[in-house]
Structure 1
């Protein structure tokens, strides 16, 4: 929990008390300072509540992502093996045909550079 809501509520309450004291004493400056503290405390409370809400949403999103990953692993247990097999295939190809692999990698790099440069 963020400490802003607690500090804000305390500041807001203190501002109300200060404003009331200023009103009773007939001191406009004290009453104005009290109102300023009251409004500042309310704003601080809202900021803290917003931070708490963002943290809650972020936590829920993380939980949902974890559940989705777990569900995906349950439904498609072999899905994680596909990229590994592809990497092994590329490694084997690079070992067997190093010049062809280097030429292919250079061509892909060149095409990516042209695509990036063409966007400007």
Structure 2
């Protein structure tokens, strides 16, 4: 979007050039000087409009970059959440499989399971009593 200062500045600059040229042709120093003054005013207004356009474009570009960054960040967060959900599900499945396997082993070999449990308990007892001394 072009700033209105650019349009009016360009129009004023053109009008000033024309008035200055007419003043030069007619020999009117007043019209020539006034035309040059209007031309300079128009050039300044045009430059001001261009600067405003540049700032507006830079702000728009910065906003676009920020929106792109936010979009990318949301995408990464979604990927991380999906990965965590998958890891949680895989861990849950592994725990259920392990629990079933232990249950089957205990059911198939009850005496061996009791001996192993007793040895584990004895070992823990030794560790606890060794830490107290």
Shorter-normalised TM range: 0.5 to 0.7
Q: 1:76 Cα deviation (Å)?
A: 1.8
Partner Cα separation in structure 1 for residue 71 and residue 7 of structure 2: 38
Partner of 1:8: 9
The runs of 5 or more residues in structure 2 that have no matched partner are 82-133
Q: 1:54 Cα deviation (Å)?
A: 0.6
Partner of 2:107: none
Q: Is 1:43 the equivalent of 2:44? A: yes
Trace 1:95-114 onto structure 2 (pairs within 5 A): none
Report the count of equivalent residues. 79
Alpha carbon RMSD of aligned pairs, Å?
1.4
Q: 1:30 Cα deviation (Å)?
A: 0.8
Q: Is 1:19 the equivalent of 2:23? A: no
Q: 1:53 Cα deviation (Å)?
A: 0.8
The runs of 5 or more residues in structure 1 that have no matched partner are 80-120
Partner Cα separation in structure 2 for residue 22 and residue 37 of structure 1: 13
Superposed CA offset, 1:20-55 (max 9, x none): 111111111110000000011011111111111111
Query: Normalization by structure 2: what TM-score?
Result: 0.56
Partner of 2:70: 69
Query: Normalization by structure 1: what TM-score?
Result: 0.62
Superposed CA offset, 1:84-114 (max 9, x none): xxxxxxxxxxxxxxxxxxxxxxxxxxxxxxx
Q: Which segments of structure 1 move beyond 4 Å, counting only runs of 4 or more?
A: none
